[in-house]
Amino acid sequence: MSNITEGQLWARVEQFFEERFDTGKNPALDTILFLIGVQELGSGAQKYTKDDKLNILHIAVCRLLQPFGYYEFSHYDDDGFPHFDPLEPMPELRPNEQQILMKKAIIQYFMDEDLF
C-alpha cells in the first residue's frame, strides 16, 4: 500500500461504510466513529441511549488513538464496556487538526484490522 495516498485510503474507508452500512456518500466522521465504537463494543445494532452513544464514541476515540500512544486498554467493566487509561495528554489541536488526526487513526485502524 506504499504507493496509495492518504486521500485514496480515506476514500476506501468511506466506500467501506457506504457499501456495508448504507451511510450515503461521504459519511460523517461521527458516524464512522460510532460504527467503529459499536464494533469495538461488540454489541451490534440495537437501540442506544444518548449516554450509551457518547460512551461508544469515547470507546472509538480511545481505541483509535491507542496506536498513537495516547491511550492503553485497561479492562472491561461488568457491562462489557472497554475502558482505557490515558498515557499522555492530547495536544491542543484546532478542529481541522483533530479531524486530520482522527482520519489518520481510522486509516491505521483499517490497516491494523485488515479491512482494506
Q: Where are the domains of the chain?
A: 6-112
Under 8 Å between Cβ of 12 and 116: yes
Contacts of residue 42, Cβ cutoff 8 Å, sequence gap at least 6: 80
Reported pTM:
0.89
Contacts of residue 74, Cβ cutoff 8 Å, sequence gap at least 6: 82, 83, 84, 85
Confidence of residue 8 (pLDDT cuts 50, 70, 90): very high
pLDDT in tens, 23-67: 889 999 999 999 999 999 988 778 999 999 999 999 999 999 999
